[in-house]
Amino acid sequence: MPILEPPLLNDIDVDVVTHPRMVQPHTDPKKPGPETLHRIGTKELCRMTRQLSALLHAGMPLVPALTALAEQLQSPTNPQTQSRSQSKRPLAAVIEEVRDDVNEGGSLAEALQRHPGLFSPLFVSMVSAGESSGALEEVLARVADILEKRVQLADKVKGAIAYPAMMTFVATSVVIFLLSYVVPGITRLFAEMNRQLPWPTRFLIAVSDFTRGYLIVIIGLLCAAVIAVAALHKSLEGKARLDRVILRLPLFGPLLFRLELARLTRTLGALMKSGLPVMTAMEITQRVIQNSLIAQAMGDIRDSVQKGDNVADAVRTTGLFPPVVYHLIATGQMSGNIEDGLIEIAEMYDVEVQTAVRTLTSLLEPVILLVMGGVVAFIVLAILLPVFEINQAL
């Protein structure tokens, strides 16, 4: 099953809450383009965000902090890299452009918005809110926390799915190799004896003949299925159907659902904690969610809140979220601190995802080994049974 991991930074297509002055992306061909910026890893961007937060927290003004950050990014972390080309690293070049824009009188949010290939509207909106509230260093640290948590959880889920998938691929390849090249040479000897073979041997020969005769057809059908799923995912209706199927998958469905809930509640809580209006925070959060079913539920919540309902009742009305979610949200509303309640929900689901990943990995590994061992044992048994019968006859 393919993992549909949401883009972390560069495809959240919503209106950004920044200063009224419109800004345009840089078009200088000498500056880093979208393809270059795409190679900047999320971990590198997260590290940059946290370093900028630390510099501002230490009392350094914004422009000198950006200058120091650009120098830090340009400085090689490995002495062996000093012999490489002296061209600027992409992220360092971007930070220098951001510094120049801020030095010319623009806000940091406006300067970041000039690089939509790197800084998403979520990133820019939180920075804008931090500048407006005078707590930019705290907001930057919060952005870094969001990115770190998102990457950590996504990596854990990928690992939980990739490991058994790789084991399954290797086991299937071994079985196909045995059936296509090893078994035919051995069973041909049995067929030439004109003896009645045991049913396991006959079954093995039939499977081997089918695999050799239709292997290319099977591979072609699998490739066609993958292409069809990818094409279906590109349409809104097709993506909605696939997302429903994904959430209903045994073992993996609940895991991915918890992952999306953690992403939703953490993003919404962080945006509200940064000072963004609740409607704007919900709109941005809706675009962050990868699963269209959950994103649609988030849109329904936003519409209900816009009509005057409170957040907890709107969440309950969707019928999609577990009772603990809207009860914690309702408790946060009564205390006047709903954003902390949302972040608490995210932390709860973080722990559940990590526990589920460990459990899933520990369960799937022995199951796959047992299945693979059973298949190989059947092949060996089907080959040895005629040998035993021949020995008994002699």
Residue whose structure tokens are 């005078």: 134
Report which of residues 7 and 100 the model is more confident about.
100
How do residues 224-241 score in pLDDT, each as one tens digit? 988 888 887 777 777 888
Q: Give pLDDT, residue 292.
A: 86
Q: Give pLDDT, residue 394.
A: 58
How do residues 306-315 score in pLDDT, each as one tens digit? 888 888 889 8
Q: Give pLDDT, residue 93.
A: 87
- Catalogue all structural domains in the chain, each as residue range(s) with its CATH number: 34-134 (1.20.81.30), 148-394 (no CATH)
How do residues 158-193 score in pLDDT, each as one tens digit? 777 787 788 888 888 888 888 888 778 777 777 676
Average pLDDT, the chain: 78
Residue 92 has pLDDT above 80, yes or no: yes
The one-letter code for the residue type at 133 is S
How do residues 112-154 score in pLDDT, each as one tens digit? 888 887 887 778 888 888 888 788 888 888 888 888 887 877 7
Q: Give pLDDT, residue 393.
A: 63
Residue 45 has pLDDT above 50, yes or no: yes
How do residues 253-300 score in pLDDT, each as one tens digit? 888 888 888 888 888 888 888 888 888 888 888 877 888 888 888 989
Segment (H or E) for 206: helix 199-234
Selection from 260, 337, 332 nearest residue 294 by Cα: 260
Q: Give pLDDT, residue 366.
A: 84
271 φ, ψ (degrees, to nearest 5): -65, -45
Euclidean distance between CA atoms 353 and 367, whole angstroms? 21
Task: Give Cα separations from 163 to 156, 175, 179, 246, 364 (angstroms).
Answer: 11, 19, 24, 18, 9
Residue 22 has pLDDT above 60, yes or no: no
Q: Give pLDDT, residue 76.
A: 56
Q: Give pLDDT, residue 339.
A: 86
Q: Give pLDDT, residue 37.
A: 44
Cβ proximity of 176 and 211 under 8 Å: yes
> pTM to 2 decimals?
0.69
Selection from 11, 3, 333, 388 nearest residue 166 by Cα: 3
Report which of residues 371 and 84 the model is more confident about.
371
Residue 14 has pLDDT above 50, yes or no: no
Q: Give pLDDT, residue 21.
A: 38
